């Protein structure tokens, strides 16, 4: 119910909405998202204009980066207490839109890092 309330709320200080998060694929280990252009993949060096999505669970304002959105999505969807683990397997620059693979467990993060660094997983830019 909290996820539905969050998705339907309209007031936010962030220019991005959790409802804009397009989940391409999700299982127990992976979360594959379509990152919109203009959004950071991970938090930038300056977080002064970002809000903490884990502060009260009721706020619909989240940070301007995909990683924070993904963690907030998991926290709300699965009603997780505390912070949710999410790690990026790849990143895209702010002006670029496209597919970003996230790990939902540390084991998946390690395996994905190995796949990407060993170039066993390909990237295609169009």
Residue positions annotated with a catalytic role: 93
Q: Residue 27 corresponds to which tokens in the numbers above? A: 């299982």
SS3 breakdown of the chain: % helix, strand, coil, rounded to 5? Answer: 25, 15, 55
Element (H or E) spanning 34, and its range?
strand 30-35
Query: What are 49's strand-pairing partners?
Result: none
Q: Residue 61 corresponds to which tokens in the numbers above? A: 């304002």
DSSP result, 88-105: ESS---TT--EEEEEESS
Half-sphere exposure of 20 (CA within 13 A, CB side): 18
């Amino acid at each position: 119910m909290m996820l539905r309330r969050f998705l339907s709320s309209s007031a936010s200080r962030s220019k991005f909405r959790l409802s804009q998060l397009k989940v391409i694929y999700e299982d127990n280990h992976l979360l594959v998202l379509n990152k919109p252009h203009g959004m950071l993949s991970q938090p930038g060096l300056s977080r002064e204009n970002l809000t903490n999505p884990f502060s009260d669970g009721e706020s619909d304002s989240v940070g301007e980066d995909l990683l924070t959105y993904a963690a907030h999505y998991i926290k709300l969807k699965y009603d997780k207490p505390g912070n949710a683990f999410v790690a990026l397997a790849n990143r895209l620059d702010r002006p670029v839109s496209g597919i970003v693979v996230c790990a939902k467990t540390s084991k998946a993060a390690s395996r994905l890092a190995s796949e990407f660094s060993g170039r066993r997983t390909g990237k295609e830019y169009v």
